[in-house]
C-alpha cells in the first residue's frame, strides 16, 4: 500500500513538472491534458484521476512555480550585507524584486496573467486557492520590517500609511510588468524601455518615502 501511494505521488509530481514546462512554453490555453500526459508518460485517465480538470493541474503548476521562486529568494534579505543598509535602501532593493521577476522570469509573469484570467473565467472559489495563496511570495512583511527600520534610522518619513503604500506600488509594478510582457498592441506602443519604466516607479516610491 505504501509503495502504491509513493508511486502515485511520484507520478503526480511528474505530471505537475511536465505541466509547468508546457505552460511556460505554450501558455495554459494552448496545452491539452493529452499533451501533459504525453510529456510525462502517464495515461490521460490517470491524469484526470489525479487532478480532475486542467484548471486543477494549472493551480498545482502555479503553486509549484511560486514555491520555486520562494526558494530562489530565500535568505537573500536576511544577509548581513542587506541588513546593514538603511531602511530606505532596503525597501528600495526589495521593490526591485518586481524588476527581477520582469527581467529574469518573463514567461512566468506572462503565465501569471493568463492564470489570473483563467481563475476568474472558471469562477474558481477562494477555498480552492488556499494552497496557491500560501505559495505566493508575500513581500509585505519583509518590506514592512525594512520600512520600520527606515523610520527608526530616520531615512523614511513617519506619516506614511504603509499598507496603502505597499498595495498601491505592488499592484502598479505587477500590472505594468504584465502589460510590458504581453507585448505592444497599438501602433503608438513602444516598450523598448520597459525596465526603465519599472525603475521609474521604484524610484518614485523611494522618493515618496524619503524623509527630507
190 found inside a domain: yes
Q: Which domain holds residue 169?
A: 66-209
Give pLDDT tens digits along the chain (212 positions): 455 556 678 889 999 999 999 999 999 999 999 999 999 998 899 899 899 899 999 999 999 999 988 888 878 888 899 999 999 999 999 999 889 889 988 999 999 999 999 999 999 999 999 999 988 888 888 899 999 999 999 999 999 999 999 999 999 999 999 899 988 898 998 999 889 999 999 999 999 999 98
Question: What's the whole-model pTM score?
Answer: 0.82
Rounded distance between C-alpha atoms, residue 76 and residue 78, angstroms: 6
C-alpha distances (whole Å) from 200 to each of 54, 176, 179, 193 are: 38, 12, 16, 11
The answer on 200 and 105 residing in a single domain is: yes
pLDDT at residue 4, rounded to an integer: 53
The answer on 95 and 118 residing in a single domain is: yes
pLDDT at residue 16, rounded to an integer: 95
- For residue 13, give the CATH number of its domain: 1.10.10.60
C-alpha triplet 91, 97, 98: angle, nearest 5°: 110
Find all residues with CB under 8 Å of 85, minimum gap 6, and list them: 93
- Of the candidates 27, 20, 15, the one whose C-alpha atom is nearest the C-alpha of residue 51 is 15
Amino acid at each position: 500500500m505504501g509503495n502504491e501511494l509513493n508511486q502515485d505521488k511520484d507520478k503526480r509530481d511528474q505530471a505537475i513538472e511536465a505541466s509547468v514546462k508546457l505552460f511556460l512554453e505554450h501558455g495554459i490555453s494552448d496545452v491539452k491534458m493529452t499533451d501533459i500526459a504525453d510529456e510525462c508518460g502517464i495515461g490521460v485517465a490517470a491524469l484526470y484521476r489525479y487532478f480532475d480538470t486542467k484548471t486543477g493541474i494549472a493551480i498545482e503548476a502555479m503553486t509549484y512555480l511560486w514555491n520555486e521562486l520562494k526558494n530562489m529568494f530565500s535568505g537573500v534579505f536576511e544577509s548581513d550585507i542587506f541588513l546593514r543598509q538603511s531602511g530606505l535602501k532596503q525597501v528600495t532593493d526589495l521593490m526591485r524584486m518586481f524588476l527581477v521577476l520582469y527581467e529574469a522570469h518573463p514567461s512566468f509573469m506572462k503565465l501569471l496573467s493568463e492564470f489570473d484570467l483563467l481563475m476568474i473565467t472558471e469562477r474558481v472559489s477562494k477555498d480552492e486557492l488556499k494552497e496557491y495563496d500560501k505559495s505566493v511570495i508575500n513581500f509585505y512583511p519583509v518590506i514592512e520590517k525594512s520600512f520600520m527600520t527606515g523610520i527608526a534610522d530616520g531615512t523614511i518619513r513617519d506619516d506614511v500609511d504603509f499598507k496603502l503604500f505597499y498595495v498601491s506600488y505592488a499592484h502598479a509594478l505587477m500590472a505594468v510588468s504584465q502589460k510590458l510582457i504581453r507585448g505592444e498592441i497599438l501602433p503608438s506602443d513602444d516598450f523598448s524601455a520597459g525596465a526603465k519604466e519599472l525603475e521609474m516607479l521604484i524610484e518614485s516610491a523611494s522618493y515618496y518615502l524619503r524623509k527630507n
